[in-house]
Homo-oligomer: A and B are copies of this chain.
Amino acid sequence: MLYLVGLGLADEKDITVRGLEVVKTASRVYLEAYTSILLIEKEKLEAYYGRPVIVADRELVESGSDEILDNAKDVDVAFLVVGDPFGATTHTDLVLRARELGIPTKTIPNASIMSAIGCTGLQLYNFGQTVSMVFFTETWKPSSYYDRVKENANLGLHTLVLLDIKVKEQSLENMARGRKIYEPPRYMTVAQCASQMLETEEERKEGVYGPDSLAIGAARVGAPDQKLVAGTLKELTDVDMGRPLHSLVLLGKRAHDLEKDYIEQFAVNKETFNAAWKRGYGGN
């Protein structure tokens, strides 16, 4: 049996009781480590589980799935995924390959940022499509996310923006020379995301949002040091939310007063927050 086990969002105790039972008894335990991260080290997980955990990077999952699935008809293999196994990134590919090989699969759900973002006080019913923001480079600033945000904004809906993480990246030089030397991991911050969003608006000029648009930065959702900050996009370009992971929510115009009551407490600056709210939200 192939088990896809959700780990939740923050640390080793966010696994479910059922998930922990699977991890403790499986023959092999893999940890998917390229679409998200837990806020703790692999070693801490291993100590908690009392057994070794094999880190599965993108290469292993995408081209080495035979290794992961080896013998899984007869023994249990646990494939651990931060958040929910079908959350921000789906692992339907691995499941489809397992099915082709006649290997039964089972999923153990867990918290995902897609619903845990409700901790902002924003109603999940009022969210449109979720989008992803990648790190811009000098020459590559993809703005397809902007079209999705525009669709949401036109309906007055909130947009959850998931922020890029880069792990096991090679520099161009190391890649060219075939050296398996990796850059330190990078995690996009709320400030970087807000800056990139304003850069795209500058470029596209379709008025989907602007420096005065309200947004909420969320860091380490579900962890003891979870942090939420509400402010204008301009304000958020200067905010320091601390260690990863970060997410951002762009507020939709359909936001109502109950949502405002809740998020106002996180405002960087209550005055600018209220001024921005009055100009464009809550049916004003």
Contact = CB atoms under 8 A, between A and B. Distances in A.
Interface of A: 6, 8-9, 12-18, 20-21, 83-88, 90, 92, 95-96, 99, 107-112, 114-119, 121, 123-132, 151, 155, 157, 221-222, 258, 261-262, 265
12 contacts: A6-B111, A8-B110, A9-B109, A13-B18, A90-B124, A92-B258, A109-B115, A111-B111, A112-B115, A114-B114, A114-B124, A126-B129
A251 B88 CA distance: 19
Copies of this protein in the assembly total: 2
Nearest to A86: B118
A38 B15 CA distance: 18
Nearest to A162: B125
Given A14-B17, A125-B129, 4 more contacts: A87-B115, A88-B124, A92-B262, A99-B265
Nearest to A17: B13
Contacts of A8: 16, 109-110
A97 to B, nearest CB: 12
Contacts of A96: 261-262
B18 A109 contact: no
B128 A128 contact: yes
Contacts of A155: 129, 151
Contacts of A86: 115-119, 124
B109 A111 contact: yes
Contacts of A128: 128-129, 157
Contact of A13 (B21, B84, B95, B125): B21
Contact of A118 (B87, B118, B132, B258): B87
Contacts of A9: 109
Contact of A115 (B92, B115, B121, B151): B115
Contacts of A132: 125
A108 B14 CA distance: 8
Contacts of A18: 13-14
Given A86-B119, A258-B92, A221 B125 contact: no
A109 B116 contact: yes
Contacts of A115: 83-84, 86-87, 109, 111-112, 114-115
